[in-house]
Amino acid sequence: MRAKMEILALVLGFIGLFGTITATALPTWRVSAFIGANLVVMEDLWEGLWMNCWRQANIKMQCKLYDSMLILRPELQASRGLMVVSIILVVLSLLITGCGTRVSNCFGDNVKAKNITLALGGGLYLLSCLTTLIPVSWVGFTVISNFYDPLITDGQKRELGSALFIGWATSVVLLITGILVLFSYSKRVSKEEEPYADAYLLALRDSQKEGSVYSQRTPSSLHKHQEYV
In a domain, 211, yes or no: no
In a domain, 88, yes or no: yes
201-212 mean pLDDT: 53
Average pLDDT of the residues of the chain: 79
In a domain, 157, yes or no: yes
Closest alpha carbon to 89 in 44, 24, 35? 24
Cα–Cα distance measured from residue 80 to residue 64, given in angstroms and rounded to the nearest whole number:
16
pLDDT at 38: 46
pLDDT at 130: 95
- Determine contact, residues 99/124, Cβ cutoff 8 Å: no
In a domain, 209, yes or no: no
- Determine contact, residues 46/30, Cβ cutoff 8 Å: yes
- Which CATH number characterizes residue 87's domain? 1.20.140.150
134-152 mean pLDDT: 90
Number of domains in the chain: 1
